[in-house]
Structure 1
Amino acid sequence: MSEQAPVTTSVPTTTGTADPAARQRSVLDTQRERAAQQLEVRLRYGDQVWELREVDHFAVFSRRSRARRAGRALVASGFEIAISRLRLRLVLVASHHAAVDEEATTAFLRQVIEVVEREGGRYDGWRAEIVPAH
């Protein structure tokens, strides 16, 4: 039986700066810090972090057209996506198979956050199952 690792919590993308690149770096930095904390927990649980597993990313958009554009960009990069409505917002779930070691998480966070921010969305974290030793 596999366990779910804790989902990273929401990260507001407004940092008081008008520079979108600085805002994205801030979100990326915050998410990388949380991924490092999650990596420690995963290793304590015996997660084989270098093994591929399904990773789900969550993003929130105020407009369907923007969520769809972000979704198309992520599909072009090999992600599977689903968009659903939650109250007045649209939630994009982008899934792919990846390892969850430091190098892999940095790469996928950079890729997904860049697409989400470019389309005016708010990246809301990721989750993946723990892969135990065989």
Structure 2
Amino acid sequence: MGVDKKNEWVQLAQDAYTNSYVPYSHFPVGACLVAKDGQVFTGVNVENASFGLTNCAERTAFFKAVSEGQTEFQHLVVAAKSDDPVAPCGACRQVMIEFCEPTMGVTLVSKDGQLKETTVGELLPYSFTDKQMEGN
């Protein structure tokens, strides 16, 4: 992946968060999920007065991609309107490990463009996957 592509994905994630529905937290988050074939899916956080029904930007992007037949991914960018890059919540990390290799890159982006590079495996060490269910 080239620098230009990653910059494009970062910009898509940052642009996406302008569509967040965040009347309660006022904390917009956008995601840009890139399938192995290069197709891009964006997502935003969508809040609900019943807070447990809120959906994060990362899961929105994954669910959009899966609903369109994509289940193999190469990169995820998560951008938040925050001073520092923000990592995905636990639920999003579990969804990530369901569909991504632990070595897949994840870029976290702050509102001013500060980047933090990590991987799915670094975000969720000792993850629960289908491998734990084998043999049962």
Higher relative contact order (CA 8 A, sep 6+): 1
Q: Which has the higher helix share?
A: 1
Name the TM-score, length of structure 1 as normaliser: 0.30
